[in-house]
Structure 1
Amino acid sequence: MQLTNPSPSLHNEDLAPAAERKWGAFSIFNVWTSDVHSLWGYYLAASLFLLCGSFLNFVIAIGIGSLVIFFLMTLVGNAGVRTGVPFPVLARASFGTFGANVPALVRAIVACFWYGAQTAAAAGALVALLVRSPGLLEFHQTSTFLGHSSLTFICFLVVWAAQLVIIQNGMETVRRFQDWAGPAVWAVMLVLAIYLVVKSGTFSFGSEIPQDVLVQATAGAGVTATPGSFAALAAVAATWITYFAALYLNFCDFSRYAKDEKALRTGNLWGLPVNLLAFCLVAGVTTTAAYSVYGEVLLHPEQISAKFDSLTLSILAALTFAVATLGINVVANFVSAAFDISNTFPSKISFKGGGYIAAIISLILFPWSPWETGAASFVNFIGSGMGPIFGIMMVDYYLIRQGKLDVNALYQEDGEFRFQNGWHGKAFIAFGVGLVFSSLLPTFTTILPAWWGTYGWFVGVAVGGAVYFALRSGQK
């Protein structure tokens, strides 16, 4: 749409409503193949698969979780299609023209952290391949830089630079990368799964793995219930849904380029419930087949590829894992941080400028590698705070405004969304109350039961959304 006299402090070419809508169902589908097909996604999927205890339990828990993800992504995706605006601009309707910077920066902080974590994971896949060479193994073990192996740093830098090449020409380059990488990753994953199943001589769903081994192997997934129990299945579904918490906020960064809502729904249907269920199944079968072959539970795919006898297959696996992880980094982290940081000073920071800032932050973090320490709990704490933001935004768009929004006013300093000098106090009250129950109480006190943290995002959505609706009831 054509904007009328947008304020320079709220507008630039990248933040403006999408002018071209070229993304069909296939491109939307590949947003999800790029998002979940990563080293971290594989690890979580394999862990949750094993926690289900049986194939039927897996289908029920992951299936229900994936349907909920489909519903939520379609909600926020439709808002993106109808308005054509990215997440930080859409947030102005509920948080105010300038107040929207707060939820945008919360999302950007999480994105910067995980940008570095995913880059490190992709670099690790390359290292696992390169150390098969005796000379590089010695170099890896003896040479250090900034407290890390020099080989690890070089691989990190290569992956870090590759992502900048992908993004430098904007969102259309992202689409083309996804359209190529998504199917390629699926093809190689199937090859690896078939290879291990043939090598093991059996096709199973984890039933032969002893219970004590399952409990030990899945301890890092954050689910303390006994594998196969109802509590474990509920936690599996909740964890799978929460895994996408960040993208619930910024999926409109991508859906705004969709041709129409039909293309969005079709892409989401194949990319979410269908693709997610199939991906988890392949991850689970691969993990259980690897257990039969190597006698240990290997939840990280680079651990599996490092044991392959075939150098060709190892190269194929390492490069595929690296490409897959680049995909999720671009989709879930680079694009979000680029728009969110650009939103703070639109007249001075472009989309690419915001992305470069995020990339530089992740590079600065590398010497400390906070993703390898307890700092992950800090990100999880902030991540749980995204629940109230999502609840507030969806209540505002669908219940308060009935899906009707004056897009032009989103770019006006003195328009409808000025509220109190650009800040909407009621939204921040709701955000604060939701944050107390989703993050503060379960993290810093023992008032709530231990399992509460698993469902913190849901609590944040419900409490934040309910408080906001109560405060705004009867208003437009």
Structure 2
Amino acid sequence: MEIRNPSPNLYNEDLAPARERHWGTFSIFNVWTSDVHSLWGYYLAASLFLLCGSFLNFVVAIGLGSLLIFFLMNLVGYAGVKTGVPYPVLARASFGVWGANLPALVRAVVACFWYGAQTAAASGAVVALLTRTDSIMEFHKTTHLLGHSGLEVICYVVVWALQLLIIQNGMETVRKFQDWAGPAVWVAMLVLAVGLCVKAGGFSFEHGIPQAVLLEKTKDAGVAGEPGSFWALMAVGATWVTYFAALYLNFCDFSRYAKDKDTVRKGNLWGLPVNLILFSLVAGVTTIAAYRVYGEVLLHPEQISARFDSWFLALLAALTFTVATLGINVVANFVSPAFDFANVFPRAISFKKGGYIAAGIALVLYPFAPWEGNAAGFVNAIGATMGPLLGIILVDYYRIARGEVDVPALYQEHGAYRYQGGWNLNALIATAAGALFSSVLPNLTSVLPSWWGTYGWFFGVAIGGGVYYALALLRPRAVAPAGAGA
């Protein structure tokens, strides 16, 4: 779709509706392989496995969670296919042409935190490999900078810089990279799992990890109940769903390049429930085998690969996991803030410049390392911030506008989405109400019970979306005409 006479403060070529749609089912599928097949994805899956207490519980909790993820991604993906616009532009329909900068910047800041977390995980794999050499291990132990070892800082900066090279030629380069990187990690995962099972003397679904060890490893997860209990399984499913909180918002950044809704649905089917369950199973099997071989719970794959007798296998595993983690960073944490920051100042910030800003913030965050600590806690705390935004956007698109968006008006300062001076007060009030219960009260006060934070994202979606719908009934707006933007 060509946009005629757009407002300069709302438009640039990167924010324009997609003109070419070459992404097929395999590319959509690989959005998810790139997103899940990372060191952080493995770490989270292995951590959640401990909370489940048994393999059957793990499959049920992860499986049900993955089906909900599939459903939500389809809702967001279909909006991207129909409108062809990126997330911050789609948000203008519900937040207003200027108000959309609020959800865009929230998503961008979250991406910066995740960008740093994933880069740190990837550089950690390189550190684990290099410290197999005595001289480098000595350097690692004796040299410190910015609260980390000198080796960790060097590896972080190198991995951080490598990611910038991937994005140089735009979204088509991202597609080609993820089409290769996503499947590659399956090879490393299977090598890791098979190698450990052979060492352990065979394949087993029985983890044999004593309850005392499980309690010790999960004591800081913020979950009520012992591993394997009903509430532990509920927490596992909730955390797994919340892990994708950021991509629920900006999956349309990718689906807008898809050929049609069927392409998105098929890609999501194979990339989400099927791929997620299989990936989680491999993570569980590997955790079991590693415990049988080494007698301890190893949640980080680089910790496992670093113990390989073969230097070549350790190198292969480290490189593959690093590349896979670069893949998720480019897909989830570079593309989105690139569009989000560009949306704030379209005249001055392009897609590339927006991505560089996100990478720069991640570099500044490194000395503070806010992502270190409990995996589930970090995922739930950071994911909860985006719950109200998703609730509002979905309610507006599917309930208020009935799936009809006036796409040209998204680029007009004085068009249908100007609301009150460019801001939709309904959306702002609903965001504040949702954020109060999803993020502020559970994370900054002790007013709510300790388990509340585990479900913060869900409360945010329900309260944000519910308040927005109620306000829309009280203060209705005109709906875009049928067929607009189709």
TM-score by length of 2: 0.95
Q: Distance in 1 between matches of 2:206 and 2:256?
A: 41
User: What displacement does 1:284 show?
Assistant: 0.4
Structure 1 equivalent of residue 401 of structure 2? 401
Structure 1 equivalent of residue 295 of structure 2? 295
User: What displacement does 1:364 show?
Assistant: 2.3
Matched, 1:110 2:107: no
Matched, 1:243 2:243: yes
Structure 1 equivalent of residue 484 of structure 2? none
Q: Distance in 1 between matches of 2:106 and 2:136?
A: 40
Deviates more, 1:411-420 or 1:108-117: 108-117
The amino acid of 2:442's aligned partner reads P
User: What displacement does 1:259 show?
Assistant: 1.0
1:416-435 to structure 2, matched below 5 A, reads 416-435=416-435
Matched, 1:169 2:169: yes
Q: Distance in 2 between matches of 1:256 and 1:20?
A: 9
Structure 1 equivalent of residue 93 of structure 2? 93
Q: Distance in 1 between matches of 2:198 and 2:220?
A: 29
Structure 2 equivalent of residue 454 of structure 1? 454
Q: Distance in 1 between matches of 2:33 and 2:8?
A: 36
The amino acid of 1:246's aligned partner reads A
Deviates more, 1:401-410 or 1:55-64: 55-64
The structure-2 alpha-carbon separation of the partners of 1:50 and 1:371, relative to structure 1 and needing over 3 Å to count, comes to closer
Structure 2 equivalent of residue 180 of structure 1? 180
User: What displacement does 1:142 show?
Assistant: 2.3
Structure 1 equivalent of residue 266 of structure 2? 266
Structure 1 equivalent of residue 466 of structure 2? 466
Structure 2 equivalent of residue 150 of structure 1? 150
The amino acid of 1:111's aligned partner reads A
Matched, 1:197 2:188: no
The structure-2 alpha-carbon separation of the partners of 1:447 and 1:361, relative to structure 1 and needing over 3 Å to count, comes to closer
Q: Distance in 2 between matches of 1:382 and 1:125?
A: 24
What is the CA deviation profile of residues 371-390 of structure 1, one whole-angstrom value per residue up to 9, with x for unaligned ones? Answer: 3379x979854531210100
User: What displacement does 1:56 show?
Assistant: 2.0
The amino acid of 1:92's aligned partner reads R
Q: Distance in 1 between matches of 2:377 and 2:314?
A: 33
Structure 1 equivalent of residue 368 of structure 2? 368
The amino acid of 1:342's aligned partner reads A
The amino acid of 1:254's aligned partner reads F
Q: Distance in 1 between matches of 2:178 and 2:102?
A: 30
Is the 1:113–1:379 contact (alpha carbons within 8 Å) kept by the matching residues of 2?
Answer: no
The root-mean-square deviation of aligned C-alpha atoms, in Å, is: 1.7
The DSSP-based 3-state class of the residue aligned with 1:139 is helix
1:70-85 to structure 2, matched below 5 A, reads 70-85=70-85
Is the 2:222–2:450 contact (alpha carbons within 8 Å) kept by the matching residues of 1?
Answer: no
Deviates more, 1:163-172 or 1:110-119: 110-119
User: What displacement does 1:471 show?
Assistant: 1.0
What is the CA deviation profile of residues 246-300 of structure 1, one whole-angstrom value per residue up to 9, with x for unaligned ones? Answer: 1111111111111111110000000000000000000000011000000000011
Is the 2:62–2:237 contact (alpha carbons within 8 Å) kept by the matching residues of 1?
Answer: yes
The amino acid of 1:282's aligned partner reads V
Q: Distance in 1 between matches of 2:439 and 2:333?
A: 22
- How many residues matched? 476
The amino acid of 1:425's aligned partner reads L
Matched, 1:390 2:390: yes
Structure 2 equivalent of residue 322 of structure 1? 322
Structure 2 equivalent of residue 133 of structure 1? 133
User: What displacement does 1:153 show?
Assistant: 1.7
Matched, 1:39 2:34: no
The DSSP-based 3-state class of the residue aligned with 1:320 is helix
The DSSP-based 3-state class of the residue aligned with 1:372 is coil
Q: Distance in 2 between matches of 1:457 and 1:219?
A: 22
The amino acid of 1:326's aligned partner reads L
Is the 1:50–1:206 contact (alpha carbons within 8 Å) kept by the matching residues of 2?
Answer: no
The DSSP-based 3-state class of the residue aligned with 1:169 is coil
The DSSP-based 3-state class of the residue aligned with 1:370 is coil
The structure-2 alpha-carbon separation of the partners of 1:463 and 1:81, relative to structure 1 and needing over 3 Å to count, comes to same
User: What displacement does 1:37 show?
Assistant: 1.1
Q: Distance in 2 between matches of 1:274 and 1:95?
A: 34
Q: Distance in 2 between matches of 1:251 and 1:225?
A: 34
Is the 1:53–1:206 contact (alpha carbons within 8 Å) kept by the matching residues of 2?
Answer: no
Structure 2 equivalent of residue 347 of structure 1? 347
Is the 2:188–2:317 contact (alpha carbons within 8 Å) kept by the matching residues of 1?
Answer: yes
Matched, 1:11 2:15: no
Is the 1:18–1:257 contact (alpha carbons within 8 Å) kept by the matching residues of 2?
Answer: yes
The amino acid of 1:431's aligned partner reads T
Q: Distance in 2 between matches of 1:151 and 1:192?
A: 25
The structure-2 alpha-carbon separation of the partners of 1:378 and 1:211, relative to structure 1 and needing over 3 Å to count, comes to closer
Is the 2:49–2:284 contact (alpha carbons within 8 Å) kept by the matching residues of 1?
Answer: yes
Q: Distance in 1 between matches of 2:403 and 2:317?
A: 45
The DSSP-based 3-state class of the residue aligned with 2:33 is helix
* Identical columns (%): 71
Q: Distance in 2 between matches of 1:118 and 1:155?
A: 13
Q: Distance in 2 between matches of 1:370 and 1:435?
A: 20
Q: Distance in 2 between matches of 1:211 and 1:412?
A: 60
**Which structure 1 segments of 5+ residues have no match?**
none
What is the CA deviation profile of residues 11-60 of structure 1, one whole-angstrom value per residue up to 9, with x for unaligned ones? Answer: 10001011111111100111101101111111110111222222221221
Is the 1:24–1:258 contact (alpha carbons within 8 Å) kept by the matching residues of 2?
Answer: yes
User: What displacement does 1:370 show?
Assistant: 3.4
Structure 2 equivalent of residue 333 of structure 1? 333
The structure-2 alpha-carbon separation of the partners of 1:317 and 1:109, relative to structure 1 and needing over 3 Å to count, comes to same
The amino acid of 1:58's aligned partner reads F
Q: Distance in 2 between matches of 1:48 and 1:32?
A: 19
The amino acid of 2:127's aligned partner reads V
Structure 1 equivalent of residue 442 of structure 2? 442
User: What displacement does 1:441 show?
Assistant: 2.1
Q: Distance in 2 between matches of 1:228 and 1:372?
A: 25
Is the 2:242–2:379 contact (alpha carbons within 8 Å) kept by the matching residues of 1?
Answer: no
Is the 1:80–1:252 contact (alpha carbons within 8 Å) kept by the matching residues of 2?
Answer: yes
Deviates more, 1:284-293 or 1:380-389: 380-389
TM-score by length of 1: 0.97
The DSSP-based 3-state class of the residue aligned with 1:94 is helix
The DSSP-based 3-state class of the residue aligned with 1:298 is coil
User: What displacement does 1:127 show?
Assistant: 0.6
Is the 1:306–1:314 contact (alpha carbons within 8 Å) kept by the matching residues of 2?
Answer: yes
1:221-260 to structure 2, matched below 5 A, reads 221-260=221-260
User: What displacement does 1:220 show?
Assistant: 4.7
